[in-house]
Amino acid sequence: MIRNRNLIRCCILGLLAMILQITTVKAQKYHSDNGNGTYTNPVIPADFPDPDVIRVGNTYYMVNTTMFIFPGVTILKSHDLVNWQYCSNAVQRFDFSPCYDLDGCNRYGHGEWATCLRYHHGQYYLLFITLDEGGFLCTASKPEGPWKIRHLPKGFYDASLLFDNDGKIYVAHGNSKIYITELNKYFSPMRKDSLVFTGDIRHGLEGTHFYKINGYYYLYSTYGARDGIQVALRSKNVYGPYKEKVVMRDTIPGANFGIHQGALVQTQTGQWWTMLFVDQGAFGRFPSLQPVKWVNGWPMVGVHGEAVITYKKPDIGGRKAYPMTTLPTSDEFNETKLGMQWGWNHNPVRDKWSLTQRPGYLRLETAKVVSDLPEARNTLTQRMFAYYSKSIPTIGITKMDIGNMMDGDVAGLAIFQNPYACIAVKQWKDSKYVVMMYNGKTIDSAAIKANTIYLRVSADYGTSKASFSYSLDNKHFISLGKDWIMRFSLSIFTGNKICLFNYATQTLGGYVDFDWFRMHPGRQADEINRIKNKL
């Protein structure tokens, strides 16, 4: 009888898993590309803000702001503007201030800012500012790199380069007041900044992208904030006067509310498109691809004044459709270098992490004695993905070997913004405890006797709620602490990121090994486990 009961139970679970897998696949999306000639915004459901996009030949490149995360200044590439993949992280580390080493200061909410991407005469250019260190120019002969970086004598806020037909180089820049400055071949100003326009709709005209199209100079700019307004300014003369027109102001609650700030790009067939972004709360700012129709010389965005959600894909010519792509998130740590989805919170300490000391594992040694996670070196981060669903949570889970920790060490899995929270193992007086902490304060804890632990976070895009749990066998997970609300604070200025970390509060010398990290939509696994526990 018992044997038959177990057999029936296994059959029920197998059938349940099959049903849930089918319904989950139907309910969730991994791609913007719908596979039928249409796409659905956002083109990437994750934190890729301040997009600048160019086309070189048949390939599109997009750069996004990464601020204090390095390797950073992330460049993506695509053949159809919908399916994107990683191309390079142009700046591997940023050695222009001790604050990027968390040496007595930090650069949260600062760092690399609204980068301009251009291609001219066989050379790729990245121009950006940091609010504290000034202007920087990166150059490369190919977008995959290597990139060379140099500090410019002057920085320009929200800068955009224009290589004019007569060989002159200009940069448009500014906030509320927009300036144009001519540069020499070393990208230094040739004369004083020229004020060409003062924002007159409201304060905060910024995010300018500079173009010359059909004899007009265009400043494609935004009045920022959650209810952003996209405008175009145009003039026959580079120094103006410029006329202004609102080209997109979508205030409909939902996927495109306040869409703003981005780039114009033309396809091989002559179509025009724009890549803007939308503030999506705790998960950050998502890029959104919108059609552009030229009306009396103005680039009008969307359809009938509204941004599109599902729409036909760009016409890139006669080639058959390119394959759907999904940006990587999970990592088995079997390679000798980190995947491009990863970035360190500020500069890493090179000799305190390794993928080769124990092949197949990411080793994080304690790198600095600190009091809390925001001060910790070698915290490894990546973006969270919303998976096109407000009902399916994002699950992040890692397997961690904790056998070589020292007293005072804290290692685990975090969601980082302001506020931040984590589930971690803390060693104290030769005993180990799994703890859930919120902004550095321990909320809950449990003693454990194990050298291997599985830590899990569930983050809900729809409600911004997050929760933590742990397991000693990767089968039965125990909730720890309480649900908390993720927020998007300008003090950090990036979307909430999942982090792997290990820091010391007493003495250096300990280390942990992460066997793998996996991120995926969580409804199917959670439902199976929930029902399994009831049977």
Mean pLDDT in consecutive groups of 10 residues from the start of the chain, 535 residues: 45 44 52 95 97 97 98 98 98 98 98 97 98 98 98 97 98 98 97 98 97 98 96 98 98 94 98 98 97 98 97 89 93 97 98 98 98 98 92 95 98 98 96 97 97 98 96 97 96 98 98 97 53 41
All domains in the chain, ordered by first residue: 52-312 (2.115.10.20), 343-534 (2.60.120.200)
* Tokens standing for residue 75: 């460049």
Antiparallel, parallel or unpaired: β 216-223 and 205-213: antiparallel
Choice among 47, 50, 52, 279 that is catalytic? 50
pTM surpassing 0.85? Answer: yes
Q: How many CB atoms lie within 10 A of CB 230?
A: 26
Choice among 206, 401, 409, 513 that is catalytic? 206
Whether cis (ω within 30° of 0) applies to the bond prior to 51 is: no
Q: How many CB atoms lie within 10 A of CB 490?
A: 8
Question: Does the active-site annotation cover 244?
Answer: no
Specify whether the CB–CB gap between 52 and 263 falls below 8 A.
Answer: yes
Please choose, from the candidates 349, 367, 393, 381, the residue with its C-alpha nearest in 3D space to the C-alpha of residue 511: 367
Question: Does the active-site annotation cover 460?
Answer: no
pLDDT score, position 318: 79
Determine the Cα–Cα distance for residues 235 and 222; give it in Å rounded to an integer: 17
Antiparallel, parallel or unpaired: β 362-365 and 310-312: unpaired
pLDDT score, position 6: 46
pLDDT score, position 527: 42
DSSP secondary structure string, 127-141?
EEEETTTEEEEEEES
Q: What is the pLDDT of residues 224-281, one digit of tens each?
A: 999 999 999 999 999 999 999 999 999 999 899 999 999 999 999 999 999 999 999 9
Determine the Cα–Cα distance for residues 406 and 394; give it in Å rounded to an integer: 32
